[in-house]
Structure 1
Amino acid sequence: MGKGRDPDPPCFRKYGLPFYSASWVPSKKIFAQKLKQKQESQKEGEEVATDDGSTLTSDTKANRSYLAFAGGGGEGRSGIPNAILLADFDFSSNSLSEQPVAKLGTQADLPYRMAVHPGGEGLICSLPKSCRWFKWDVLEDEGTCKLDLISSEKVLTQLEDIGQQLALTFNSEGSVLAVGGEDGYLRVFKWPSMEVILEKDDAYSSVKDLDFSSDGKLLVSLGNGGPCRVWDVTLSTVIASLPKESDEVFGFCRFSQTSDNKQILYTTAMRDRGGSIVSWNTSSWRRVRSKQIVRDPICAFDVSADGRLLAVGTVQGDVFIINSLNMKVQTVVRKAHLGLVTRLTFSEHSRALASTSMDSSVRVTVIGDQKRESGGSVWIIIFVVLFAILVYFLKTYGAIPHL
C-alpha cells in the first residue's frame, strides 16, 4: 500500500471558506479596556454584564492570541458562506483552534479586505459596494474571557455606495484611515470623525496597496496605471513618485524601520525572471537595492513590526521569510497552502507569521530566535576548531596514538 499523506500540523487549519484577508487582533488591549470598564462599574456598585446575562469575573488578561479572517464564496450559489471568523493561537503548543471561536456571517456580501483598529476599537471591512464597521465583544466562557465580533450600528456614510475597496489601512495610532478603490479612487480620513484629509478620484486606474509610515506622516500607494507614490498626509500632496524599471510590475508596498531606527520603504516587483523586493531611501527616494527572492509571482507581502523580517507568499502556496539586513531567506515553508497565498501578517511582537489562502486554509509559522540560533552555531564552530587544534597537538607530541 502507498504511503498516506502526513497529517496537517496543529498550526494549520481549514475553516471552510476561501480567505482574502487576515489580521492579528490586539486582544490584550481589548481585554484591558473591558477590565477597566468593570473596575469602574464596581466602584459605582454595578456589575458588567455580557450579552448572555453572565458577569465578567475571570481574568481578562488571559493568555490568548486572536486572529481575524475574512472571506467566502461571493454572490454565487456555491453554498460557501461569506463571513468574518475569529480563531485563537496558542504559542505554547503552536496550535490554532480546531474550529473558529467566533463567526459572523455577512449574507450575500463578500468581506474582501479589512483593517483592524490598532487601539482595539473594532475592525473595518470592505464589501462589494461599501465598507462596514464591526466591534468586539468580550464574553465570559467557562471561567475565561472569550472574544467575539458583532455588527455595529455605526454607519460610515462617507464609505457607502463607493464600490469595491481593494486596500484599507489605519496609521499606527488609529487616528487616520486610508482606503483605495477598484475604481482608482484614494480617500484618507481622520478617525473616528471621518473628516476628509485627502480625496483623489484618479490616483490610479485601480488602487492595489496602501501603507502608512510609522510616524503616520507619510502614506505610500500602489496601483495600476501609475508609479508608486508617497503622499504627505498633512499637506495632502505627493512628495515622491518612485519609477519602475523596464519590465517591472510593482505589487505591494510597506514602510519599515532599519536597525538604527531610520525609515525605509519596501516594494515588491515582478519581472520575467521572478519576484523581487526593492528597498528605497526615504530621504532621497532613490533605490537602495533590489533582490530577487523567488521565481514565482509574489501574491502577498508583509514586514514585521521590528523591521527585522520580510515575508512573501507565492501563487504556488509557498511562504518565504527573509532577513531584512542581508536580504537572505531564513525560512521557507514549501506548499504552506495548496492554493495561492492571499494574505500574510506578522504578529505584533514579530513572534509569528499568519498566512491565508483561497484553499480555505490558515497557517501560523512561529519565528525562531535567530540571534540565539546563529549564536549557538558560532559556538559550535568554535568548539570544533578548538577540538581539531587540540587533537593536532596531541598527535604531534605523541600523547595519543595516531587516528
Structure 2
Amino acid sequence: MARGRREIEPCSKTYGFPIYCAGWVPFSHIATSSASPENENENEGDDKGDSASATAAASDASDKLLVAIGGGGGEGRSGVPNALVISGFDFPSRSLSDEPVIRIGTESDLPYRMAIHPTGDGIICSFPNGSRWFKWDLPGSRDYKKLALNPSEESLTQLENISLQALCFNKEGSVLATGSEDGNLRVFKWPAMESILSEVVDDNSIKDLDFSFDGKYLASLRNSGPCRVWDLNSSSVIANLARESGENFRFCRFSCSSDDNQVLFVIAMHDDQGKIITWNTTTWKRIVSKRVVKDPISAFNISPDGKLLAIGTIEGGIVVLNSKNLQVHSVIKKAHLGLLTSLVFSQDSRALLSSSFDSTARVTAIEAKKSNGTFFISILYFRYFSMPGLFKTFFFLLAGLSMWLVFLVIIVAMLAYYLQSNGLIRNL
C-alpha cells in the first residue's frame, strides 16, 4: 500500500457518489409479507415446512442485513451518477458486500432524503422537485439476493414539486411526517395520504422531525425558533422548547428511559461546540444540558432500544454515548474523510450505519463497553511515555494484578506522581 494512503476496512465501502441519505432495510418484514398464503394453507406438512423455512430465514436475517443509500452528483453534467443502492452486510465478518444487491439509476434526479417504511412496504425517496414511492418485490423467496425495488405506479401528488428537508414514518408506519425547504410542515395518514396537520412558516425551512415511541407526539425543528412538540390527536402544539442564548438547534429525537418514560433529546451547537439537551416529556422542562464534542455536529440518531446515542461531525468522526448518563461508550475518529450525512442504528441496535459526502458508507458493530478497570488502564497506557520512572513501575505491575487491586494501585501511583511533580519526593 502506498505511503499515506488510507486503507478501506471491510465494514466500509466506496460507492462512487456523495451519499446524502441512508437507512436499514427491514428484510425480515419483507420476507414475511412475501410468503404466499395459498401455499401456506395447502396442508399441514407444507405449514411445517414453511415454519421451518421461516425459522431458518429469521436466523439468517439476523446475520445478513441490508442497507439502503442514496445520493449522487445532482443535476448537470458532473459525470457523477445519481442512484439508490441496496447493499448487503454480513455481521459475522463485519463486511459490506462488494457488489450491490440492487442499484437504481435516477437519471438527473438526486436522491436527497429517504424514509424506509418500518414494516416493509417500501421507500419514499425525496428528490429536489418531488418524491417517489418505491416498492419491494420478493416473489416466493426469502433470499435477500433476489430482492427487487421498483418504482410504484402510485404517485405522491401531495408531495409533487416540493423539496423535502425531512421526512419520517412513525413506529407502526401508519403516519408520515414531511418538512419542506419552503417552511411547510405536513403530516399524513399512511397510505391514504389524508392530512392530519399542516403548518406553514414562510422562509423558515424544516430541519428535523421525529415521532415519539408511542406515536402521540411529533417534534419539529426549523432553521429558527423553538423546537415545537405537536399532539397528533388534537393536531395542536403542546410545547415550545426555547433555545438559550447562543444555541442553534440541529436535531431532535425521542427515546425511552429505563423506567419507560419518554425523553426528548435535542442536539444544539453552542458557539463552536456541540451539546445534547434532554427534555422531560411531561413537564417539558430541561433535564440535562451537556457539551459533548468540539466539532460541528452534522448527524445524530438514537438506537431503537433507547440505550445509545450516536453523533457524527463534519470532520468525519463518530461518538457513541450512553443515553442514560451521556457518558462516552465509544469513539471512532475519522470514520469517514468528510462530513457525515446520516447515522442510523439497525433494528436490533447491534450495528450503526453511517454515510458521508466522501462517497463511503460504513457499518460499525456495537460492542459491549469495556469495564471501568480496562478503561482506566487504557488512559494510563496513552500517558505512559510522558510519565516518570515511578509511575511506569506501577503501570507494569497492573498486568499481574487481579482487577480488585487495580483501583488501589492507580490511586497510589497517581499520589506518587503528584508528590514527585511537586518536588516532595525525588525521581526514582
TM tier relative to shorter chain: 0.7 to 0.9
Verify the 8 A CA contact 1:230 1:239 in the aligned structure 2. yes
Count matched residues: 374
Q: CA 1:66 to 1:38, structure 2 compared with 1: closer, same or farther past 3 Å?
A: farther
Q: Please give the residue correspondences for 1:44-83 in structure 2 after superposition, counting only pairs within 5 Å.
A: 60-61=57-58, 62-63=60-61, 64-83=64-83
Q: 19-28 or 131-140, which moves further after superposition?
A: 131-140
Q: CA 1:117 to 1:143, structure 2 compared with 1: closer, same or farther past 3 Å?
A: closer
Q: CA 1:140 to 1:240, structure 2 compared with 1: closer, same or farther past 3 Å?
A: same
Aligned to 1:381: 403
Which is helix-richer, 1 or 2?
2
Q: What CA distance in whole angstroms lies between the structure 2 residues aligned with 1:2 and 1:196?
A: 57
Aligned to 1:169: 168
CA offsets, 1:332-388, max 9 Å, x none?
111111110000001111101110001100011110123xx4389599522658999
Aligned-pair CA distance for 1:200: 1.0
Aligned-pair CA distance for 1:32: 1.3
Q: Give the secondary structure class of the aligned counterpart of 2:35.
A: helix
Aligned to 1:49: none
Verify the 8 A CA contact 2:177 2:185 in the aligned structure 1. yes
Q: What CA distance in whole angstroms lies between the structure 1 residues aligned with 2:183 and 2:289?
A: 27
Aligned-pair CA distance for 1:258: 0.5
1:133 maps to amino acid? W
Verify the 8 A CA contact 2:311 2:319 in the aligned structure 1. yes
Q: Please give the residue correspondences for 1:2-401 in structure 2 after superposition, counting only pairs within 5 Å.
A: 3-5=3-5, 7-37=7-37, 39-40=39-40, 60-61=57-58, 62-63=60-61, 64-138=64-138, 145-161=145-161, 163-202=162-201, 205-370=204-369, 373-374=370-371, 381-382=403-404
Aligned-pair CA distance for 1:58: 12
Q: CA 1:58 to 1:186, structure 2 compared with 1: closer, same or farther past 3 Å?
A: same
CA offsets, 1:73-119, max 9 Å, x none?
11021111111110111110000111221111111111100100011
1:252 maps to amino acid? F
Q: What CA distance in whole angstroms lies between the structure 2 residues aligned with 1:128 and 1:387?
A: 60
Aligned-pair CA distance for 1:143: 7.3
Taking only the aligned residue pairs, the percentage that are identical comes to: 51
CA offsets, 1:200-236, max 9 Å, x none?
1228710010000001110000011321000011111
Unpaired segments ≥5 residues, structure 1: 44-55, 389-403
Verify the 8 A CA contact 1:301 1:312 in the aligned structure 2. yes
Q: What CA distance in whole angstroms lies between the structure 1 residues aligned with 2:142 and 2:177?
A: 39
Q: CA 1:193 to 1:143, structure 2 compared with 1: closer, same or farther past 3 Å?
A: closer
User: How large is the Cα RMSD of the aligned pairs?
Assistant: 2.7
Q: Give the secondary structure class of the aligned counterpart of 1:29.
A: helix
1:170 maps to amino acid? F
Q: What CA distance in whole angstroms lies between the structure 1 residues aligned with 2:178 and 2:142?
A: 39
Aligned-pair CA distance for 1:275: 0.5
1:305 maps to amino acid? P
Verify the 8 A CA contact 2:212 2:218 in the aligned structure 1. yes
* TM-score of the superposed pair, with normalisation by structure 2: 0.82
Q: CA 1:366 to 1:224, structure 2 compared with 1: closer, same or farther past 3 Å?
A: same
Q: What CA distance in whole angstroms lies between the structure 1 residues aligned with 2:13 and 2:402?
A: 37
Aligned-pair CA distance for 1:149: 1.3
Aligned-pair CA distance for 1:281: 0.6
Verify the 8 A CA contact 2:34 2:141 in the aligned structure 1. no
Verify the 8 A CA contact 1:135 1:149 in the aligned structure 2. yes
Q: Give the secondary structure class of the aligned counterpart of 1:382.
A: helix
